[in-house]
Structure 1
Amino acid sequence: MVAEHGLPETLITNGEDRIRGIAERFGMDYRGVTVTRDTTLQMTPRGDLETVWGSDRIPDEVVVFVTEMPRLFSGLGGDTRARDSVVLAELDRERGAAVISLPALGPSPRRRLGKLITMVVSVLKDSSTEPFELSRGLVVERDGETEYVVAQGLVSRALLTAGMVRGNRPWRLIPMLTGMTAAAAAAASFGVFFSTIWSMANALSPWRLAAISVLSMVLATLWLIVNNRLWERTTDTYRPRARLYNTATVCTVVFSAVVLYVGLFLAVLVAAMTVIDETFLSSQLGFQAGLNNYLNLAWLATSMGIFAGALGSSADSHDDVLRATYGYRERLRRRAAQSSQGGEMSESH
């Protein structure tokens, strides 16, 4: 097993007992897992994967590479209906190697990963070239010597997007937004100390408060994407993959914005209930105040805070934010491939 650093490494390392059982089922020895970063799996100029296994295959050896990179079948040499279908695995029987794309297995890939490893080992262990059986909903497409296990339909694309969002680890973006969080908290504090905000919050209907909340999170999302240049241009990669990367980026940033909003809302609610006495709040509103009035106050104050935080600050580390996007990680792979080719040319001279 060869696994990329990150989620593939975690899943393979934690599931080694199961993988060892799979190997024993086929009369093989499990030789462990090798963890790589950006050099074993590289990107070709047209965006395909290029595995560096070496030209010679050791008899009866099977190498399975698990990558975090999403794969779309381009349709070259295959049915046009399969174009841009989601690729779960790529198999090269001649070299006894397979590449499994982890994001295609969805946000909870552990069980499906074990089944897919079992399938590819079974195929690669068999030296014949006969077609192999697949689970329901999967088909095999060929491009030269490579066989692609692909899934079609909206469900497979939704699973791929969800898997990519998990691969981006959006919860890691939140600690990088301390500047935005501080600006949002400072702006939201006005809602706790100014009675005008109290009256306005309780005068607005729930629908209007909800609209303000959505607008504030949309603004925060747009600001983070534009300010940190997270949008993947179609000139950098081909259009379907650019759309895929941008969808995952938007979902990742939205997730971070929602978590930030919920955290700030709870903090403002606790602060309001601690600082503002219920009797005093009732006297300012002109009627008996209750929990729902504190909720409305925190709701509007949080939306105001997110507005101010989005416009008033940016992420603390531009590079760290970029690492949470697939487009940036793909560019790193291209650079690694170019550096490797440049090094080989220098050695040959």
Structure 2
Amino acid sequence: MEEKTVGIVSSPELPSTIANALKKQFQKDLCKYVADGKLEWRVEVEVDLLTGATEEVAEVLEGAEQIKKRNGWDFAISLTDLPVYNGRSIVLADANIDTCTAQISLPAFGWRPTPNRVKIIMLLMIKELYFRQTTDYENNDLEQKGIGPLDIKKQKGFVNKLEKPFRFSAVRRIESSNQTEETTVRFVIVPKINGLARILFGMTIANRPWAILPSFKNVVAIAFATGAYGLIFPTLWKLSISYEIYRFIGLTATAVVGMVVWIIFAHDLWEKKNVENINRLRWMYNSTTILTLGTSVVMYYIVLYLLFLIAVSVFVPPDLYEAEADKDVGPLNYLKLAWLVTSVATFAGAIGAGLENPERVRKSTYSYRQYSRFEEMKEKEENEKKGTDDS
């Protein structure tokens, strides 16, 4: 039986994790759904640093083609956390039919780029590459082989039928030829506003907002020490009883936003405008940084709240609390007291966040791509400054 090999070229971190997670099942599905079981399929995974650093789609596909030739693969799929655009539309995946290479953009999957959802689109791209290479295709042939109609009017919702991986967006298929007469097939998400939201949430997940928490041990220590000290005095007890709910919400929002802003500017995480970066990508990366840190700080806030809830339950005697409040107190009062102390402690924790090692914070906050982008821009700025000083 003839054997075909598919290579998955992934960038580091999340794409690599997904590629390895779906490898085994993807190979089984290829044998089952492509060429009616007449071929033996083999899947290999290789991590490529270029795929995780460059922002040029052509470079990614060219790099995948070179790796394909070097390893003797028949097909290569690049799995990347690069946000890809076609004009103003968000690209889910694209394939070069002539070079048998394809690329899938994980941010286009939104906040849930699970291996199963990615595998569905990878299977679709292999069908595109394989059947377009081996048969004289007709529109009906493509539909029967599971690729989808060429007629745009018939495309609406086609990819959604594949176990519904995109519940709130449709995917449209675009085919074109470039200057070298190579055929390119591209899948874009419509409407555009949905695609933009998917990109932001997808890039936030790629940044792993949960990974920053272990880096903030000192922040938690300072915040908890401050809050615990504040609990000794009855002032916070009285305020927690006097405050209305809207004040608690306002304090929480102010504390979270303040901490996010402080971390961004204390560790130089905001990407500034210069002649090298593209405004759209700069806006996208900065928005992703805000969402990543916002998610991290909310998680940190919840952890701190649970710690203070235990603390107030243990250290604040009900009799003394009632005496200070001059009224009966119940579980709701303890919940509100822990809430108020958490907000106050978060303000103190923000100061501790500014004392963390900037390099460690960047590595925790950024994905591999965004960190590589930051280092590259930093190096360019240093070289320009050095050239100015020399002159």
Q: TM-score range by the shorter chain?
A: 0.7 to 0.9
RMSD across aligned positions (CA)? 2.7
Whether the aligned pair in 1 keeps the contact of 2:51 and 2:80 (CA below 8 Å) is no
Q: Following superposition of structure 1 onto structure 2, how do residues 257-336 of structure 1 map, counting pairs within 5 Å?
A: 257-314=297-354, 316-323=356-363, 324-325=365-366, 326-331=369-374
Q: Percent identity?
A: 25
Does residue 229 in structure 1 map to residue 268 in structure 2?
yes
Alpha-carbon distance, 1:129 to partner: 8.6
Match 2:11 to one of 4, 18, 24: 4
Hey, what's the Cα distance between the residues in 1 that align with 2:374 and 2:232? 48
Hey, what's the Cα distance between the residues in 2 that align with 1:229 and 1:335? 11
Match 1:149 to one of 187, 190, 198: 187
Match 1:138 to one of 171, 178, 201: 171
Q: Following superposition of structure 1 onto structure 2, how do residues 1-349 of structure 1 map, counting pairs within 5 Å?
A: 1-24=8-31, 25-26=33-34, 27-36=39-48, 38-40=49-51, 42-43=53-54, 49-50=59-60, 51-52=62-63, 53-54=65-66, 61-73=74-86, 75=87, 83=88, 85-110=89-114, 111-125=116-130, 126-127=132-133, 133=148, 135=159, 137-139=170-172, 140=174, 142=176, 144=178, 145=182, 146-152=184-190, 153-235=192-274, 236-314=276-354, 316-323=356-363, 324-325=365-366, 326-331=369-374
AA aligned opposite 1:135: V
Alpha-carbon distance, 1:190 to partner: 3.0
Alpha-carbon distance, 1:21 to partner: 1.9
Runs (5+) with no aligned partner, structure 2: 1-7, 140-146, 149-157, 161-169, 380-391
Hey, what's the Cα distance between the residues in 2 that align with 1:156 and 1:182? 40
Hey, what's the Cα distance between the residues in 1 that align with 2:346 and 2:53? 39
Hey, what's the Cα distance between the residues in 1 that align with 2:58 and 2:220? 39
AA aligned opposite 2:327: F
Hey, what's the Cα distance between the residues in 2 that align with 1:313 and 1:56? 45
What per-residue deviation string (whole Å, max 9, x for no partner) do you get for residues 300-322 of structure 1?
11111111111344263322322
Alpha-carbon distance, 1:288 to partner: 1.4
- Name the SS of the counterpart of 2:47 in structure 1: strand
Structure 1 counterpart of 2:142: none
- Name the SS of the counterpart of 1:287 in structure 2: coil
Whether the aligned pair in 2 keeps the contact of 1:3 and 1:65 (CA below 8 Å) is yes
Whether the aligned pair in 1 keeps the contact of 2:10 and 2:51 (CA below 8 Å) is no
Hey, what's the Cα distance between the residues in 2 that align with 1:177 and 1:202? 31
- Name the SS of the counterpart of 1:138 in structure 2: strand
- Name the SS of the counterpart of 2:159 in structure 1: coil
AA aligned opposite 2:171: L
Alpha-carbon distance, 1:57 to partner: 5.5
Hey, what's the Cα distance between the residues in 2 that align with 1:331 and 1:297? 41
Q: 1:94 to 1:333 in 2, by over 3 A?
A: farther
Whether the aligned pair in 2 keeps the contact of 1:180 and 1:310 (CA below 8 Å) is yes
- Name the SS of the counterpart of 1:2 in structure 2: strand
Q: 1:246 to 1:108 in 2, by over 3 A?
A: same
Runs (5+) with no aligned partner, structure 1: 76-82, 337-349
> What TM-score results when the alignment is normalised by the length of structure 1?
0.84
Whether the aligned pair in 2 keeps the contact of 1:183 and 1:313 (CA below 8 Å) is no
- Name the SS of the counterpart of 1:302 in structure 2: helix
Alpha-carbon distance, 1:278 to partner: 0.5
Of 142-151 and 156-165, deviating more is 142-151
AA aligned opposite 2:102: A
Alpha-carbon distance, 1:31 to partner: 3.7
Relative contact order, higher structure (CA 8 A, sep 6+) = 1
Hey, what's the Cα distance between the residues in 2 that align with 1:299 and 1:56? 56
Whether the aligned pair in 1 keeps the contact of 2:309 and 2:338 (CA below 8 Å) is yes
Alpha-carbon distance, 1:56 to partner: 8.4
AA aligned opposite 1:64: I
AA aligned opposite 2:201: A
- Name the SS of the counterpart of 1:32 in structure 2: strand
